[in-house]
Structure 1
Amino acid sequence: MTLVRALGSLILGLVVIVGLMYLLVVVNITQRLEDPEVYRAAFTEIDAYNRIYDEVLIDRAVQDETLDLLGGVGLEAQESVEVLRDVMPPAYLQDQIEANIDRFTGFLSSDLERLDLYLELREPLDRVEVVVLDKAEEIITELEIDEPPSATTECTPDSLQSLAGDMASEFAGLSAGELPESVPSLETLDEDCRRQEFDNWIGQVADDPRVDPETARTIEEEKDDLRESFIEGDTTAFLEKAAAPLVGPVIDDSLEELRQGLQNDRLDLLEELADNFDNLTREDIDEQAEFLRDTLGTATGTGGMLALLLVIVGSLLLAATEIPNPTGMLRWPGLYLLLGGAVSLAVGLVLNTVVPGRLVVVVTTSSSGTPTALISLIGDLMESFARQFTAGFIPGTVTVLVIGAVLFVASFFVGRFLSIVRGEASGFQG
């Protein structure tokens, strides 16, 4: 009989441990997956919103996409970051990402039927032209002006041709979205020459083979606005006036091409994900998302209730096998709660150590051409998620350990108390 009781207690103890592991690790993780605050905390912890600008968007692997966001205008890395922050402020990006977090967790909790993740780009795209042109004017204002030697300011055909050729090169660059690093000074020609020869000079610029017909037509249309700055010899003001009509069409064309790849100015993140991973389609993503949602629903619903039932019934039956021994009724349930809590804590810590690295490996090996900066960001996000999950199951595990410890320790006090009571009762009877 003692052997049967011991075997039964062992089996019931294992049932309690398994139930606790399921509740403390599996159910906790699935519930945390549906908690939007977990994702928000992870993004904030690793400074993800700033890193998207400072690291990801200036990565060489996404330079074409970044150039599109800049309206096709080539800028230095730091200038690109400044413009992107003005076009799409970090607060706007954070709102967009948090809206996607809400959609994702809403889908997992079955509040939404379909998983749709996207970025609304209409507002940022509407700001691109103004912001980029402002930055272009700022850069032009700070340009190095190649001042001419005093002996070269005479009004000769060679001087006119030389300056026309130099300026044609700059105009051609502007019309291609390339901002100059330095420009020739209009003071190469003296003031009287600039006043008398402007029409002749601007015609030479427009006729230069480096200037395409569209740019030449723009120069001709804008020459009246350019005349005053040219005559004054104000090179910076001259280029500032030329920048908008020359760079503006580049921005318009780039934005039009970018918008053709969007759906109502929305960037579908799941379509982008499918395009960047080998052997993955949007349909595959939808199927996997629905499978994940169904699995989580089962884990937290039927699975969670069954695990809770196993823990409660197992603990009660453990106590019942020790009737009428109060010491055993406390000690064995307490011991198995201690063991279950300790094992759950160990399993949870191992999972949170191993899983992030595994996920990063999957992302690295499954994607083609994924930017290094993006891989780094995803890796840090995975580690942060792991810390958030750990923060979730540790309080529950500690609670179980405390309850188990209280029951286990109390069993010794109860045993001692009963021994004293029995001793006093025996003395009284004697």
Structure 2
Amino acid sequence: MEKAVAAGTVPGRAVRVAAYVGAVLATVCVIVTASLRGTVLAPDFYASALDREHAYDRLYDEVLVDPRTAPTTRQLLAQLPVPEAQVTSNIKLVLPPDTVRALVRQRIDATVGYLNGSRSTLDLTVDLGPVLANLDQLAQIYLGDLVAGVQNRSEPDFERFSADVSDALRELAAGRAPQGMPKLSLTEDQAAAVTTALLAVAPEDQRPALRGEVETALADGDVATALAAVAAAARTDRSDSAVRRLRESLDGGTWDPASVLAASGNELRAVHDIRPYTSVGLGLVEALAAAVLALCLVALWITGPARPGRRLMALARPLLGGAALVAAAVGVRELLGDGRLVSPSVSWSPSLSRLVDDVQDRAHGMLLDTVLLTVLVAVAAAALLAVVGRLLDRRRTPTTAAWRTPAIGLGAAALAVAGIVVTPLLTAASAPRLCQGSAALCDRRYDEVAQLTAHNAMSTTVDRFIGPLQDPDITAQLNDGVRALQLDTYRWERPEEITARLDASDFTAEQKQLVQRAVNTINPPRDGLWLCHAVCRAGAVALVPELREIGAWMRQHPTDVVTFIVQDEISASDTERAFHEAGLDPLLFTPDADPDHPWPTLGEMIDSGRRLVVFAEDADGPAPWYRNFYRYGMETPFAFRSPDRMTCVPHRGGTGKQLFLLNHFITDNGGSRLDAGTVNTRRFVLDRVHRCERERGHPVTFVAVDYATIGDAASAVRALNEERSAD
């Protein structure tokens, strides 16, 4: 009763009013700061907004194919030694989705780290090394096609080409016309244009003397003589400078998006301006506001009515008042603002502007949801206090002394504050867990997931195989969506073994002649274990170093499962030693000894760290992780001569197995790049997969293709997994 009387005095009323106002304002501060900390200062908040808007898929499917993007694309590609069409048609090879996701996440971490104070500077610089490396690889592929065309061969002879170019350059440097250059029939205008272009590389004071000779040669279509006339006098400083710039770009090119944002009117000054408040101030304000709220609630309890039930009801009012103020402020903000931080420039393509706007709208909506949910928690806490207080107030018997102690008020205050503070952290959006690039696949069993498979993945144009069946190397294939690799392991063959191996191979007659000429000359025998296609002299990649590279890729992509299907021409013990030497032991998954035992989900495999599955075509152990594929899987035939002959009939492995390998490539005197353009299209892949699944009564697990970067087999595999996830 003494406390109740004291609360009724003038000083008591002043304390009570001050505590009430302080509790209302503190509630507002706690709701706002906790919500911002759980969203604006959380990297997963931004990653989730991008994923929910399917930003990465839209980048490839909408932005990069938008005609309005073409001018910017052409400007960026102007200095590259690869035609624009080659880059844009292989955009996922040049700029793989995983690379884009990683680069974006790095920029998010850099920005949020700067805002929350964990980083002292805002550095948005992007390392373009991986992209430039992919461009360099594409240039090699393109150059190989050009060289093969010039030589009128199915595959390029780089050594011969280099020698011919060197000879031609030496002739030009000496002022002599190189041999073998064709004559061109030029119109008068064309000849004049070529003359101007050639003279531009010569010193200005020598151009008048050279003009007559060049014009005369071009009038006869003699390009070789015209080149020889200007070669000796040509300035080399410009070409040297260009070479230096290109080398510098390829060695360590970077890009700072801050300049692009500034050019579009979106400077980063706002980020710098708010950092003092977000790096230290926000956390400090939240902590102080939470402490003030708790103290004010305790003060209201101490100075409240004698009956404990009414005291609890009194604690509810400031919580409800603070929540109402925040809700009102949010309503006003929604009426007056659009929630955008970045304003799309008029120079941006419509598709890019839409993507930026949609991501911003998504992030704004997520922030709004978090704030309103925190408001609801404050309202719920107030309602709970009011209801409990009402029930206590209805009690007819006097309350015990324990109900009068400040501990009751302190406990109620602590619970209310904790609920408001913790809610944004528990409910704020986080980036979805991804397995094989999709959140929907984490709960799917290994045998239920479709995987793009590279047939003879080691036989690549980049590694200069004769008769290659893929273009980029294995790491680039993985970057482009391949998740299963068909590999052939060999020891280097002896000369006397060449004929037998060639007779059993799928090489063309011309390719076989190339291999026979390479015996003990271009490709002499080498010791060790190799990845080869039928004959190591037709191309070989050292096994252990390649396994190390694959292992490095897997460690950089911890949410992906990779499968090997090995045509094993080396012993199982040699294979086991090679994998151990490559450091792959921690990644190797051991299938159940019973082929009919259910496979784990991708999520379970990823959580265990055992996410590299290795099958052999012949061996079955002794290593428990090295199992015969045809005990666990079945396949279709693989020697199809044309697309219209592709069937689904059983082949090796019979029927009724859990894993289903669809051999989806044409072998007509070797791999057929032209047919790959047909069979690798999205519609063709989907139609055949659906047909084979109906005929064989089991979902396809591996879609094995040649030239995986031709067509859109990767898109078809994604569509298959989306269909299955929707079931």
Task: Provide the TM-score with structure 1 as the length reference.
Answer: 0.61
CA distance in 1, matches of 2:97, 2:331: 34
Q: CA RMSD in A?
A: 4.3
Greater per-residue helix proportion? 1
* Residues 206 and 219 in structure 1, CA contact (< 8 A), matched pair in contact too: no
Q: Give matches, 1:100-249, under 5 Å.
A: 100-131=107-138, 202-205=182-185, 209=191, 213=198
**What is residue 22 of structure 1 aligned with on the other side?**
29
SS of aligned partner of 2:255: strand
Aligned counterpart, 1:274: 262
Classify 1:377/1:399 alpha carbon distance in 2 versus 1 (closer, same or farther; 3 Å): same
Which amino acid in 1 is paired with 2:289?
A
Distance 1:267 1:413, change over 3 A: same
Separation in structure 2 between the aligned mates of residue 392 and residue 138 of structure 1, nearest angstrom: 55
Which residue, out of 397, 403, 413, partners 1:421?
Answer: 397
After the TM superposition, which of the residue ranges 401-410 and 55-64 deviates more from structure 2? 55-64
Q: How far has the Cα of 1:36 moved from its partner? A: 0.7
Distance 2:186 2:135 in 1: 28
Q: Is the 8 A contact 2:43 2:109 kept in 1?
A: yes
Per-residue displacement from partner, 1:33-90 (whole Å, max 9, x unpaired)?
A: 22110111111111112222333344555434312444376656xx764322210111
**C-alpha separation in 2, matches of 1:134 and 1:274:** 37
- Percent identity over the alignment is 19
CA drift at 1:413: 1.0
- Picking from 323, 340, 350, the partner of 1:359 is 340
- Structure 1 residue 312 and structure 2 residue 294: aligned? yes
Q: Secondary structure at the match of 2:126?
A: strand
**Cα deviation code 1:243-266 (max 9, x no counterpart):** xxxxxxxxxx99987887899300
- Select the residue among 299, 304, 313 that pairs with 1:331: 313
Aligned twin of 1:98: 105
**Residues 274-298 of structure 1: CA deviation (Å, up to 9, x unaligned):** 23328x5xxxx4x643332211134
**1: CA distance between counterparts of 2:298 and 2:243?**
68
The farther-off stretch of 58-67 and 25-34 is 58-67
Q: Kindly indicate whether the alpha-carbon contact (under 8 Å) linking 1:16 and 1:336 is maintained by their aligned counterparts in 2.
A: yes
Task: Within 5 Å, give how 1:330-409 maps onto structure 2.
Answer: 330-348=312-330, 351=333, 355=337, 357-359=338-340, 363-364=343-344, 367=345, 369-409=347-387
Change in Cα spacing, 1:121 to 1:201, as seen in structure 2 (3 Å) is closer
**Deviation of residue 17 (structure 1)?**
2.0
One-letter amino acid matched to 1:359: R
Task: Tell me, in whole angstroms, the C-alpha distance in 1 between the residues paired with 2:222 and 2:352.
Answer: 41
Distance 2:306 2:367 in 1: 42
8 Å contact 1:68–1:254 — kept in the other structure?
A: no
Residues 337 and 401, structure 1, Cα contact 8 Å, conserved in 2: yes
- When residues 262 and 12 of structure 1 are mapped into structure 2, their CA distance, relative to the original with a 3 A threshold, is farther
Structure with the higher fraction of residues in strand conformation? 2
Q: Distance in 1 between matches of 2:309 and 2:224?
A: 101
Q: How many matched pairs? A: 320
Matched, 1:291 2:273: yes
Q: 1:83·1:132 contact (CA, 8 Å) conserved in 2?
A: no
Q: Structure 1 residues 200, 44: closer, same or farther in 2, change over 3 A?
A: closer
- The CA deviation string for residues 108-141 of structure 1, in whole angstroms up to 9 with x for no partner, is 22222110002221222233254367579999xx
Q: How much does 1:6 deviate? A: 6.5
Structure 2 residue runs of 5 or longer lacking an equivalent are 1-6, 147-178, 202-217, 226-240, 400-727
Give the match for residue 194 of structure 1.
none
CA contact under 8 A between 1:359 and 1:382: conserved in structure 2?
yes
Give the secondary structure class of the aligned counterpart of 1:204. Answer: coil
- TM-score of the pair, normalised by structure 2: 0.38
Matches of 1:334 and 1:259, distance apart in 2: 69
| Alignment CA distance shift 1:135-1:58 (3 Å) | farther
Render the CA deviation track for 1:160-204: whole Å, top value 9, x for unaligned.
Answer: xxxxxxxxxxxxxxxxxxxxxxxxxxxxxxxxxxxxxxx999313
Match of 2:96 among 73, 78, 89: 89
Counterpart residue number, 2:577: none
Contact 1:68 1:258 in 2 (8 A): no
Counterpart residue number, 1:45 = 52
Counterpart CA distance in 2 for 1:368 and 1:312 is: 50
Matched, 1:264 2:252: yes
Give the SS at the match of 1:43.
helix
Structure 2 letter corresponding to 1:116: D
- How many angstroms apart in 2 are the aligned matches of 1:23 and 1:98? 29
Per the TM alignment, residue 32 of structure 1 is displaced from its structure 2 partner at its CA by 2.1
Does the CA-based 8 Å contact 1:319-1:328 persist in structure 2? no
Q: CA deviation at 1:99?
A: 0.8
Distance 1:200-1:327 versus aligned 2 partners, 3 A rule: closer
The aligned counterpart of 1:231 is none
> Residues 133 and 393 (structure 1 numbering): CA distance in 2 closer, same or farther, change over 3 Å?
same
Asked if 2 retains the 8 angstrom alpha-carbon contact of 1:69 and 1:125, the reply is: no
Instruction: Give yes or no for contact 2:32–2:371 (8 Å, CA) kept in 1.
Output: yes
Pick 1 or 2: higher relative contact order, CA cutoff 8 A, min separation 6.
1
Classify 1:323/1:422 alpha carbon distance in 2 versus 1 (closer, same or farther; 3 Å).
Answer: closer
Asked whether the 8 Å contact 1:12–1:318 carries over to 2, the reply is yes
Give ranges in structure 1 of 5+ residues lacking alignment: 140-198, 222-252, 424-430
Deviation by residue 1:374-416 (Cα, 9 ceiling, x = unmatched): 3222211211212332343345433322221111011111111
